[in-house]
Amino acid sequence: MPRPKSGTALRSRKASGQRVSLKSLAEHLGLSQAAVSLVINRSPGAKSIPLRTQELIRQAARELNYRPNHLARSLRQQRSYTIGVVVPEISEGYAALVMSGIEDHLLQEGYFYFVVSHRHRDELIEEYPLLLQQRAVEGLIAVDTAITGAAQIPLVAVSGHREVPGVTNIVLDHARAATLAMEHLTKLGHRQIAFIKGQEFSSDTAIRWESVRHAAQALGVKINDRQVGQLEGESSSPVLGYQVTKKLIASGEAFTALFAFNDISAIGAIQALREAGRQIPRDVSVVGFDDIQSAAFQNPALTTVRQPLREMGMLAAETLLRRIAAPPEADYPKEIVVQPELICRASTGAAPR
């Protein structure tokens, strides 16, 4: 383990406002400049350095007010170590959980990142990737964002369903997800099932609804169009699910279960059902989708189809960094499929007789 030398000279330099150099910091610690640089810049190679040594390096850097010159590093290596992330919005739910996985991996690997939200505006979806490239990002991650043009730099799309040159799509097995939910409800005796579809602009809406239709047909469940509602508007609050469910109730069509597009809309649906005098799950069972952090703490706790959202974010970041490190002409994965999981909680029960 390194033993720091007397820091009197360095502290005098700090007090006088002089910049502490990497060489001086390394000599103070009795370590090589390469080792100190790996830790300070959070480079992948730092993993080979003992954690205790890493802590000593960072502690000394804080005490001596050492700041790495990222601009000089970028110019020297012709790298920015910066990633661009494009999301529809920053709010509780889908995007936040994906972002947590992206952040964890990029921070671990020593990358900086920009996050932009386009609010489903077509002109921003087209403009933001170009603006991020002008800021020298080395790669892009698009979350629930439709990418139409060929990518000029490595790009990974979470919930991307289009085959676009230069893009790796990370997608859920929606057929399996729909089957898990529908089998769960039919085993509980439900045949009259209402559905809430996602907004038109959501990347997953079309493929998920098609998967639900196929699963229902395979199980002999007839879908009544009057028992199908669709989320409208850009709000990410439960109010959209609340409004759709009010319309489903007002239609007069009886249903004993409801399968919502996501957990947020399921939470709104439960409120609307309660206001109509329906008890959950005695009168109506409710299934969500995503398994956001608050799903387990609803009353009743929400049964849902879990997307491994945080893991999808980490996988997106890992895949992107591998593509950045690879030669430009190297092959890259076009699609990576992840698996869902049914999480049974208290919002579903046997169909009423």
pLDDT the model gives residue 148: 81
In a domain, 132, yes or no: yes
Q: Tell me, yes or no, whether 204 and 303 share the same domain.
A: yes
Query: Quick one: 302 and 315 in the same domain?
Result: no
Q: Which of 16, 167, 14 is nearest to 24 (CA)?
A: 14
Residue 164 counted as domain residue: yes
Q: Do 197 and 207 belong together in one domain?
A: yes
Q: Angle formed by the axes of helices 51-63 and 33-40, to 10°?
A: 80
In this predicted structure, the answer to whether residue 69 has a pLDDT above a threshold of 70 is no
Read off the pLDDT of each residue in 10-35 and give the average, rounded to a whole number. Answer: 73
Looking at the domain assignment, is residue 44 inside a domain?
yes
pLDDT at 15 over 70: no
- Per-residue pLDDT reduced to its tens digit, 177-213: 999 999 999 999 999 999 999 999 999 999 999 999 9
Same domain (yes/no): 147, 227: no
* Residue 314, domain member (yes or no): yes
CATH number at residue 54: 1.10.260.40
Would 344 be classed as within a structural domain?
Answer: no
Does position 12 have pLDDT exceeding 80, yes or no?
Answer: no
Give the pLDDT of residue 337. Answer: 97
- For the chain, the domain total comes to 3
Domain shared by 299 and 180, yes or no: yes
The CA distance from 198 to 261, in Å, is: 5
* CATH number for 319: 3.40.50.2300
State the Cα–Cα distance between residues 113 and 253, nearest whole angstrom: 49
Please indicate, yes or no, whether residues 33 and 21 belong to a single structural domain of this protein: yes
Q: Are 227 and 255 in contact (CB under 8 A)?
A: yes
Q: Mean pLDDT across the stretch 84-104?
A: 91
pTM to 2 decimals?
0.80
* Lookup: tokens for 154: 């490595």
Query: Could you read off the pLDDT of 105-127 as tens digits, one per residue?
Result: 998 888 999 999 998 888 999 99
Q: Is 207 exposed, middle or buried (0-12, 13-18, 19+ CB in 10 A)?
A: middle
- Domain extent, residue 215, equals 174-307
Question: For 36-41, what is the mean pLDDT?
Answer: 79
Flag whether pLDDT at 4 surpasses 70. Answer: no
pLDDT the model gives residue 23: 83
Domain end among 24, 44, 68: 68
Q: Would residue 346 count as lying in a domain?
A: no
Q: Note whether 188 and 266 are same-domain residues.
A: yes
322: three-class secondary structure by DSSP: helix
Does the pLDDT at position 6 exceed 60?
no
Average pLDDT, integer, range 36-58: 82
210 and 133, same domain (yes or no)? no
Indicate if 246 and 188 belong to the same structural domain: yes
Query: How much of the chain exceeds pLDDT 70, in percent?
Result: 91
Reported as a single tens digit per residue, the pLDDT across 337-348 is 999 999 999 999
End residue of a domain, out of 27, 45, 68: 68
Average pLDDT over residues 222-249: 95
pLDDT value at 17 more than 70: no
* The pLDDT of residue 18: 61
Domain identity same for 219 and 268? yes
**Coil, helix or strand for 130?**
helix
Same domain, 233 and 300: yes
In this prediction, residue 39 has a pLDDT band, given cuts at 50, 70 and 90, of confident
**pLDDT band for position 3 (50/70/90)?**
low
pLDDT for the residue numbered 80: 86
Task: Give phi and psi for 84, each to the nearest 5.
Answer: -105, 135
* pLDDT bucket at 283, cuts 50 / 70 / 90: very high
HSE (CB half, 13 Å, CA atoms) of 236? 13
Q: Kindly state whether residue 200 falls inside one of the protein's structural domains.
A: yes
Task: Indicate if 302 and 313 belong to the same structural domain.
Answer: no
Instruction: Please check the confidence at residue 264 and state whether its pLDDT lies above 60.
Output: yes
Q: Does residue 353 belong to any structural domain of this protein?
A: no
| Selection from 216, 196, 326, 217 nearest residue 262 by Cα | 196
The pLDDT value recorded for residue 275 is 98
